[in-house]
Amino acid sequence: ESKILVDRGVGRALFRAFRFTPGAQYRPEDRALRAALIAEGSAELGKETLGPWDFIRFSGDGDTPSMTFPKGATMLAVSLGARQ
């Protein structure tokens, strides 16, 4: 589940909040996705475990591994360029 938080007045930036249920998986296929912050819960990205206030930067090349959310999570994300 996701919600657009800001999509006007900030140039090409799009700010979204994602809520993931426990056990959910997410594969960032949006090449415009640039950064995210785990606001609550936890995420696993490769061998890394991320918790609240952990920041993730994406390269934008579409080569981001899948993320899993064992206990569920809320993630705030920033995209540049493309709108979804």
Residue 21 in tokens = 């249920």
pLDDT at 49: 95
- Mark the ranges of the chain whose per-residue pLDDT is less than 50: 83-84
pLDDT at 79: 82
pLDDT at 58: 82
pLDDT at 9: 56
Residue 67 in tokens = 């993320």
What percent of the chain shows pLDDT beyond 90? 40
Distance CA 63, CA 49 (A): 19
pLDDT at 84: 45
> Rounded to two decimals, what is the model's pTM?
0.77
Distance CA 43, CA 52 (A): 9
pLDDT at 73: 97
Contact 41, 71 (CB under 8 A): yes
Residue 25 in tokens = 């998986």
